[in-house]
Structures are given as structure tokens and as C-alpha cells.
Structure 1
Amino acid sequence: MPAFHPARPPRRQQGISLVIVLVLLVVMSVLGLAVMRSSGMQERMSANLRDRSEAFQAAETVLRVAQQDVLGNAAISDLQYGKTLAEMRAAGKPVTCATDGICDQTAATPETPVKMAAADGRSFYFIEYLGTGKGSTLQGVCETTAAISNYQCQRPMFRITAHGRSRGLSEVVLQANVVSR
């Protein structure tokens, strides 16, 4: 016959498991909030990087357009023969700050550069005439003979300032000095 064991009186529960679960729940909530903030910050950083890259590409594009304006501009070809921009203008050449955007910085009162807008409507550039710089050389020596005068050692030099803007708030400014051919 089996022995009869009297029922034990129920023990009082301490409730420690409830406290542990609540602490773990709070820790997991804080961890979830930290991950959400971190991912939101990374999303903003990548958007800023994209905007800056877009602005840089726009500035670089408009800089190349301005360089082609300088290098391919037949109106400034006389600058290669030792004339200054002021002398060209006095002779009636149509190179002006307002129309061509080539502004003379060698004058007694330098001209304020005029914005030349790009096709995208957000980018623009300035072209400033800086005077003459060193031109073509042969092994580092200026090519001058009786038939070739000293003007070939001097070429017109320009500073191009290009501003590119993205669809966001980013803006990039690039500058380049160009010695014309």
C-alpha cells in the first residue's frame, strides 16, 4: 500500500521572474531605440553625401564648360598676340564682361565678375582675365627666334570659378587657372 503523504502547504511566490522579464523588456526597448536613431543618422549622412556628390559633379561639369568657353573662344584669339583685354575692347572686339563673362582683373579697377548660368539652372561660373602667363616652351626654353616673336612665351591666363548646387542644400565651389592656347 502506498504511503500517504500529506499535501505540502503552497509556498509563497517571490515574483523574481516577473522583475527579470520587466528589466529585460526595458533593456530591449532601449536597445531598439538606439538602433533606430543610428539608422536614421546613417540615412541622413548618406543623403548629405549624395547631395554633396551631386553638387560636386555639377560644379565640375560647369567648370569644363567654362574651360571650353575660354579655350575655344575665337573672340579672345588676339590675346595670344600680346594684346591686353582692354586693348582688344578699345579696338572694337566684342569680348565684354557682361556678354561673354570674361572680366578683366588686370584693369586699374578690376571688373566685378558676371555670373554665367549653366543649363541646369542651379550652377553658374565666372571667368576672370588675369593677364598673361608662360606659354609654349621647347624643353623649358621659350621658343623665340627672329621669325617667332616673344609673344609666344606669353599666353592669356584666366581664372574660372564654378559653383555647383545639388537639389538639396549642398553647394561646391571649384576654381581652375587656364592658360589659353
Structure 2
Amino acid sequence: MNRLARRRSSAFYRTQRGAVLYVALIMLILMALLGIAGMQVAGMQEKMASNYRAANRAFQNAEGVVRAAERSAEAIANGESVDASSLLQDGDISPICDDGYDPALWAEDQLGNATAAVNVRQIDSCVMGESSMAMGAPVGEASPIFIYQITGYATDDADANSSSVVVDTIFKL
């Protein structure tokens, strides 16, 4: 009886063709392809996150340049001294408001520059219709109104910049 069982089992094994091996290899290849696709997606997401971080950092740096220029412009308007390391000095404010200045062209000139830059124009003489909230009634001694157009440029990193931003704003004192 033992021989008969052995004969049947050996005949059974001879009729097998290894289909499980083929199915397992195909499944292994599919899993490898899924893994490769997953790695590519993760790499792309990491690049997008890095690009977003660089653009956000450049924007924050440009905002900081503009805010520092606002503080310097306020100090100059009040007759105070400005720190020598400031991007904006007393003679840097252009008093001519209608000089054909274009912030986009100025920004193109700054591209590739690793250092922060600022351009400030005093435009209060160009703005018409400045009035008090009391509809023309004098409140007291009128104080001068200063309006500046401040354009600031900055990059994400001074050493290896990959993103640059220009911020153009109007500042009123």
C-alpha cells in the first residue's frame, strides 16, 4: 500500500507544470513596479515641498526688506538718523514721482542678484484728493503727509538662491 501511494504521488508531481512559480514571479514584478512608482511620487512631492518652502522663504525675506525700508523711511521723515547698515539711506528716496518707474522692469534688473535690494519713491505730490475725515473742517495744525512707493527684492538664500520675490507696496505716514 505504501508503494501504491508513492506511485500516485509521483505521478501527480510529474503532471505539475509550475504555474504557482509563474504567478508568484508576476506578482513580484507588479509589486516592484508599484514600489518604483511610489518612490517616484515621493521624490516629486519632496521636490514640490522644497520649491514651496524656497518661494515662501523668499517672500518672507522680501516682506522683511520692505518693512525695514518702511521703518527707515519713517525715521528719515521724522528727521532721525538711519542705521548705516540699512538698505535705505537719506539720499536713496527719489522725490520725483512721475519718472516712468516700472516695478516689473526694476525687478527684472534685480534677477540673479543674491543680495536684497529696495527702491523707494516719494509719491505724495502725485496723489490727489488728500482730505481729512472731517470733510474739510480744520482739526488743528496740519501735519505733512508722506506717501512712499516701496519695492523690495529678496531671495530665499544668499548663498544658493533658487527663488526670488519682488514686493511692491504703498506706505503712508
Superposed pair shares fold, TM > 0.5:
yes
Partner residue of 2:38 out of 35, 39, 43: 35
- Residues 41-89 of structure 1: per-residue CA shift (max 9 Å, x gap): 1111111121112111111111111101111114779xxxxxxxxxxxx
2:4 alignment partner in structure 1: 5
Partner of 2:84: none
Map of 1:101 onto structure 2:
92
Matches within 5 A, 1:46-125: 46-74=49-77, 100-106=91-97, 109=99, 122-125=115-118
Query: 145, 157, 167: which is aligned to 1:155?
Result: 145
AA aligned to 2:138 is T
Asked if the contact 1:103/1:111 (under 8 Å) is kept, the reply is no
Q: Which has the higher strand share?
A: 1
- Unmatched 5+ stretches in structure 2: 81-87, 108-113
Distance 1:64 1:127 in 2: 12
Q: In structure 2, how many angstroms separate the alpha carbons of the residues matched to 1:39 and 1:105?
A: 52
SS at match of 1:141: coil
CA contact (8 A) 1:122 1:166 kept: no
TM-score by length of 1: 0.66
Displacement of 1:131 in angstroms is: 2.9
Conservation of the 8 A alpha-carbon contact between 1:104 and 1:110? no
> Which residue among 162, 166, 173 is the counterpart of 1:173?
166
RMSD: 3.6
Q: Once the two structures are aligned, what percentage of the paired residues are identical?
A: 24
Contact 1:63 1:162 in 2 (8 A): yes
By how many angstroms is 1:144 displaced?
2.5
- Structure 1 regions of 5+ residues with no counterpart? 78-96, 116-120
C-alpha distance 130-105 of structure 1, shift in aligned 2 (>3 A): same
Q: Relative to structure 1, is the Cα distance of residues 3 and 72 closer, same or farther in structure 2, using a 3 angstrom cutoff?
A: closer
Determine the structure 1 residue equivalent to 2:135: 141
* Partner-residue secondary structure (3-state), 1:158: strand
